[in-house]
């Protein structure tokens, strides 16, 4: 086994503390990745502070499922990577590789459910622990070459937030001439803005106040609509080819459905307990509601190539790994502009 240092919640809602644990030895197709930067995702917060949603058996828990680093060891059958290569890994690290979705490169839709970077169970029966840690062991199929022209800290959130927004934009064929609405221009939404603009779309950001509107304009949106302004919202009637809703709390989406063109779609990626809407707003105009989250190996590589070609990275604030509890507290209070990233480089020497 491989000794690793990390930060873990020892029980639900506990502050994260230094925790030493073990990774598996490398199989022939595994690589060991020395973690340099790991993003702090809202999913991490939900997993670490689950309320009544998660049994104590899920703990101790090391979170972190969007990270970058360098390969420090490779199995004897690894063909994609060599020691020293820069690597990026996302929130899926294995799947059955035999079902229809897996065979088509859509492992996130695996019939038998994919293995998650943390909180899952790998093929050896071990519970997976995440990348708030010095090292991660992963099969090369689920690791990606980090684009050399992009800042590594800014790439880490692409491995979750980036693919989560890229995938629906591609699925609904956003491109030149499209008018796209992005609801919530934060950790997910700011990447949706960058990606949609790079695809050639006109992008309108929906946000809650003037301060956030100014930040959205600085990101490059073509226009901002303040959602509390009824007149401004009513003026969006049948304007949009596609709306991506990134808001992670329960909210009413009727005004956004009315803003869609006939036979257009709204996609929710915020992982909310429910969406509130009147079904008549689907019926009138033949509107659709969809969902998205993560992506398979084919689309994730495509996303990284696209971001490399268009110089797209996440807007990040980098904190040291020992500030992880501060990062989680700020995220819980929405006191983050876009994405927090932890610098793991000092952890091994603590």
Q: Any idea what the CATH number is for the domain that residue 276 is in?
A: 3.40.50.720
Which neighbouring-strand residues pair with 290?
267
Tell whether 140 and 232 lie within a shared domain.
no
Q: Which domain holds residue 42?
A: 2-157+315-349
Tell whether 135 and 253 lie within a shared domain.
no
d(C-alpha 106, C-alpha 232), whole Å: 39
Tell whether 131 and 200 lie within a shared domain.
no
Tell me the pTM.
0.94
Q: What is the pLDDT of residue 64?
A: 98
Q: What is the pLDDT of residue 58?
A: 83
Q: What is the pLDDT of residue 1?
A: 87
Q: What is the pLDDT of residue 225?
A: 97
Q: Quick check: bond before 332 cis, omega within 30?
A: no
Instruction: Please list, in sequence order, all residues whose beta carbon lies within 8 angstroms of the beta carbon of residue 44, skipping any fewer than 6 positions away.
Output: 63, 64, 65, 130, 328
> Mean pLDDT over residues 282-304, rounded?
96
Instruction: Please list, in sequence order, all residues whose beta carbon lies within 8 angstroms of the beta carbon of residue 285, skipping any fewer than 6 positions away.
Output: 238, 260, 261, 262, 263, 264
pLDDT digits (tens, 9 = 90+) for 325-342: 999 999 999 899 999 999
Q: Contact at 8 Å (CB) between 32 and 45? A: no
Tell whether 147 and 174 lie within a shared domain.
no
User: Backbone phi, then psi, for 192, in 5-degree steps?
Assistant: -60, -40
Tell whether 124 and 227 lie within a shared domain.
no
Tell whether 138 and 84 lie within a shared domain.
yes
Residue 53: pLDDT band by 50, 70, 90 thresholds?
Answer: low
pLDDT digits (tens, 9 = 90+) for 305-317: 999 999 999 999 9
d(C-alpha 318, C-alpha 309), whole Å: 24
d(C-alpha 196, C-alpha 179), whole Å: 9
Q: What is the pLDDT of residue 349?
A: 53
Q: What is the pLDDT of residue 348?
A: 66
Q: What is the pLDDT of residue 347?
A: 87
pLDDT digits (tens, 9 = 90+) for 102-135: 999 999 999 999 999 999 999 889 999 999 999 9
d(C-alpha 132, C-alpha 38), whole Å: 7
Q: What is the mean pLDDT of the chain?
A: 95
Angle at 313 between CA 309 and CA 314, to 5 degrees: 160
Q: Would you give the DSSP letter of residue 263?
A: E
> Mean pLDDT over residues 159-169, rounded?
97
pLDDT digits (tens, 9 = 90+) for 251-271: 999 999 999 999 999 999 988
CA 134 to chain centre: 21
63 in a structural domain: yes
Q: Which parts of the chain fold into alpha helices (H)?
A: 42-48, 100-103, 152-155, 161-171, 189-198, 210-219, 230-234, 254-259, 280-283, 297-310, 324-332
Q: Quick check: bond before 60 cis, omega within 30?
A: yes
Tell whether 145 and 176 lie within a shared domain.
no
277 in a structural domain: yes
Tell whether 149 and 249 lie within a shared domain.
no
Tell whether 18 and 43 lie within a shared domain.
yes
264 in a structural domain: yes
Residue 272: pLDDT band by 50, 70, 90 thresholds?
Answer: confident
Domain boundary among 241, 275, 291: 291
Structural domains of the chain, count: 2
302 in a structural domain: no
pLDDT over threshold 70, residue 56: no
Residue 228's nearest CA partner among 239, 216, 212 is 212
Tell whether 112 and 223 lie within a shared domain.
no
Residue 308's nearest CA partner among 178, 197, 154 is 154
Q: What percent of the chain has pLDDT over 90?
A: 89
309 in a structural domain: no
d(C-alpha 84, C-alpha 235), whole Å: 54
Tell whether 153 and 169 lie within a shared domain.
no
301 in a structural domain: no
Q: What is the pLDDT of residue 350?
A: 44
257 in a structural domain: yes
77 in a structural domain: yes
Tell whether 327 and 257 lie within a shared domain.
no
CATH number for 343: 3.90.180.10
> Mean pLDDT over residues 179-196, rounded?
96
CA 32 to chain centre: 22
Q: Contact at 8 Å (CB) between 206 and 229? A: no
């Amino acid at each position: 086994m491989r000794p690793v240092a990390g930060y873990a919640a020892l029980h639900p809602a506990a502050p994260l503390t230094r925790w030493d644990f073990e990774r598996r030895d490398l199989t022939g197709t595994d690589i060991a990745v020395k973690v340099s930067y790991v993003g702090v995702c809202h999913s991490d917060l939900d997993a670490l502070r689950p309320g009544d949603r998660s049994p104590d058996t899920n703990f101790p828990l090391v979170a972190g499922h969007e990270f970058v680093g360098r390969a420090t060891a490779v199995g004897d059958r690894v063909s994609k990577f060599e020691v020293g290569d820069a690597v990026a890994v996302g929130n899926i690290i294995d799947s059955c590789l035999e079902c229809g979705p897996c065979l088509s490169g859509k492992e996130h839709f695996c019939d038998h459910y994919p293995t998650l970077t943390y909180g899952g169970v790998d093929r050896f029966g071990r519970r997976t622990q995440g990348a708030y840690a010095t090292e991660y062991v992963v099969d090369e199929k689920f690791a990606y070459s980090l684009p050399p022209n992009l800042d590594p800290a800014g790439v880490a959130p692409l491995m979750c937030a980036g693919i989560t927004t890229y995938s629906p934009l591609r699925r609904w064929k956003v491109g030149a001439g499209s008018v796209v609405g992005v609801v919530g221009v934060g950790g997910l939404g700011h990447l949706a803005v960058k990606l949609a603009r790079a695809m050639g779309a006109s992008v309108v950001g929906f946000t809650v106040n003037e301060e956030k509107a100014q930040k959205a304009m600085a990101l490059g949106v073509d226009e901002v609509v303040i959602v509390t302004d009824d007149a401004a919202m009513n003026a969006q009637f049948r304007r949009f080819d596609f709306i991506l809703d990134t808001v992670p709390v329960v909210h009413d989406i009727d005004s956004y459905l009315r803003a869609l063109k006939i036979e257009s779609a709204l996609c929710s990626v915020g992982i909310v307990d429910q969406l509130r809407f009147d079904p008549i707003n689907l019926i009138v105009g033949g509107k659709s509601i969809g969902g998205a989250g993560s992506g398979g190996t084919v689309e994730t590589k495509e996303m990284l190539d696209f971001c490399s070609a268009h110089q797209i990275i996440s807007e990040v604030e980098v904190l040291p790994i020992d500030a992880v509890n501060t990062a989680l507290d700020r995220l819980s209070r929405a006191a983050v502009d876009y994405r927090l990233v932890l610098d793991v480089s000092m952890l091994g020497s603590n």
